[in-house]
Chains A and B, each alone.
Chain A
Amino acid sequence: MEKIYIYKIFERFWHWSQALIIGFLGVTGFEIHGSFSLFGFENAVRWHSIAAWVFLILIVFAIFWHFTSGEWRQYIPTTKLLKEQFMYYIGGIFNNAPHPTNKTVYNKFNPLQRITYLGLKILVIPVIVTSGFLYLYFQYPKFGIEFQSLEPIALIHTFGAYILLAFVIAHVYLTTVTGVKSFSSIKAMITGWEEMEDEEIKIVVEEEMEVALQEIKGKLKAGDEKSDLLDDALGAVEEKLGVKRETFFRDAIAESSAGYFCIGKDGYYKEVNDAWLNLYKYNSKNEIIDQHYRLSRTEEDFKELEASVMKVLQGETINHGEVKRICKDGSEGYHTLTLSPVYIDDEISCFEGFIIDTTAKHLAEHEMLKKKIRLAERQKKNKEENN
Chain B
Amino acid sequence: MKKLISIVLILCFTGWVMADDEGAEKDSSRSFPITNYIYKADRNTNPSADHSKFEILKQPFENAHQLTAACLSCHTERDKEIMITSHWNWEREDVLEGKGKVKLGKKNILNNFCIGVKGSEATCTRCHIGYGWKDKSFNFKDPLNIDCVICHDNSGTYKKGKGMAGYPDPSVNLNYVAQSVGQPGRDNCGVCHFWGGGGNNVKHGDLDVSMLDVKREVDVHMTTEGEDMSCVDCHVTEKHQMAGKVYALSSENKDRATCVQCHTNKPHTDEILNDHMIRIACQTCHIPVYAKENATKMWWDWSSAGRLDEDGHPMHENDAYGNHNYLSIKGNFVYDDDVVPEYYWFNGLANHQLISDKIDTVPLQMNTLYGSYRDKGEFQSSVEPSKIWPVKVHRGKQIYDTILKTLIQPKLWDKEKGKGAYWVDFDWDEASRVGMEYVGQPYSGAYGFIETEMYWPLNHQVSPASESLKCVDCHTRNNGRLASLTDFYLPGRDRNAFLDGFGIIVIVGAIVGVIIHSILRRYLRRKCFFQKETN
Contacts and interface: CB of A to CB of B under 8 A. Distances in A.
Contacts of A61: 4
Contacts of B320: none
Nearest to A154: B489
Contacts of B4: 10, 13, 61
B278 A141 contact: yes
A50 B499 contact: no
Interface in B356-381: 373-374, 376-377
B74 interface: no
B510 A169 contact: yes
Best-surrounded residue of B1, B5, B376, B517 (most CB of chain A within 10 A): B517
Interface in A146-184: 146, 148-151, 154-155, 158-159, 161-163, 165-166, 169-170, 173, 177
A140 interface: yes
B506 interface: yes
Best-surrounded residue of B272, B476, B492, B494 (most CB of chain A within 10 A): B492
A71 to B, nearest CB: 16
A46 interface: yes
Interface in B278-302: 278-279
A170 B491 CA distance: 28
A123 to B, nearest CB: 16
B525 interface: yes
A54 interface: yes
B275 to A, nearest CB: 5
A169 to B, nearest CB: 4
A58 B19 contact: no
B445 interface: no
Contacts of B521: 93-94, 177
Nearest to A37: B472
A91 to B, nearest CB: 10
A269 B296 CA distance: 111
B524 interface: yes
A148 B489 CA distance: 11
A10 B4 CA distance: 9
B172 interface: no
Contacts of A170: 510, 513-514
Interface in B491-526: 491-496, 499-500, 502-503, 506-507, 509-511, 513-514, 517-518, 520-521, 524-525
Given A33-B492, A158-B503, A50 B12 contact: yes
Interface in A112-128: none
A54 B11 contact: yes
A17 interface: yes
B488 interface: yes
A146 B517 CA distance: 47
A140 B491 contact: no
B12 A140 contact: no
B507 A42 contact: no
A13 B1 contact: yes
B16 interface: yes
B308 to A, nearest CB: 56
B510 A166 contact: yes
B263 interface: no
A364 interface: no
B98 interface: no
Nearest to A93: B521
B51 interface: no
Contacts of B520: 94
Q: How large is the interface on A (under 10, 10 to 19, 20 to 34, 35 or more residues)?
A: 35 or more
A161 B496 CA distance: 14
Contact of A162 (B15, B488, B506, B514): B506
B266 interface: no
Contacts of A93: 521
A263 B459 CA distance: 101
Contact of B275 (A10, A32, A140): A140
B377 A148 contact: yes
Contacts of B415: none
Best-surrounded residue of A54, A94, A165 (most CB of chain B within 10 A): A94
Nearest to B509: A166
A95 interface: yes
B528 interface: yes
A100 interface: no
Contacts of B49: none
Given A54-B15, A166-B507, A146 B377 contact: yes
A321 interface: no
A141 B495 CA distance: 22
A40 B470 CA distance: 10
A98 interface: no
A148 B495 contact: no
A37 to B, nearest CB: 8
Contacts of A46: 19, 270, 272
B502 A162 contact: yes
Given A33-B491, A95-B524, A141 B15 contact: no
Interface in A18-54: 32-34, 37, 40-42, 45-47, 49-50, 53-54
A54 B471 contact: no
B507 A50 contact: no
A162 B471 contact: no
Contacts of B506: 162-163, 165-166
Given A140-B275, A146-B377, A34 B525 contact: no
A167 B500 CA distance: 17
A360 interface: no
B382 to A, nearest CB: 15
B279 A162 contact: no
A40 B5 CA distance: 28
B517 A45 contact: no
Contacts of B492: 32-34, 41
A41 B471 contact: yes
A344 interface: no
B162 interface: no
A96 interface: yes
Nearest to B472: A41
B232 to A, nearest CB: 34
B92 interface: no
Contact of B517 (A17, A32, A34, A173): A173
Given A46-B19, A54-B12, A166-B509, A159 B499 contact: yes
Contacts of B377: 141, 146, 148
B279 A34 contact: no
Nearest to B504: A162
B12 A95 contact: no
B80 interface: no
Contacts of B405: none
Given A158-B499, A162-B506, A166-B510, A45 B272 contact: yes
A177 B518 contact: yes
B11 A40 contact: no
Interface of B: 1, 4-5, 8, 11-12, 15-16, 19, 270, 272, 275, 278-279, 373-374, 376-377, 470-472, 475-477, 488-489, 491-496, 499-500, 502-503, 506-507, 509-511, 513-514, 517-518, 520-521, 524-525, 528-529
19 contacts: A10-B4, A13-B1, A13-B5, A32-B491, A33-B492, A47-B19, A49-B272, A54-B12, A61-B4, A146-B376, A149-B373, A150-B488, A155-B499, A158-B500, A162-B499, A163-B506, A165-B510, A166-B509, A170-B513
Which 7 interchain pairs have the tightest Cβ spacing?
Answer: A162-B503, A151-B489, A94-B524, A41-B471, A169-B510, A50-B15, A173-B514
Given A32-B491, A170-B514, 16 more contacts: A41-B470, A41-B475, A46-B270, A57-B11, A94-B525, A94-B528, A96-B525, A139-B275, A140-B275, A140-B279, A141-B278, A150-B489, A151-B494, A165-B510, A166-B510, A173-B514
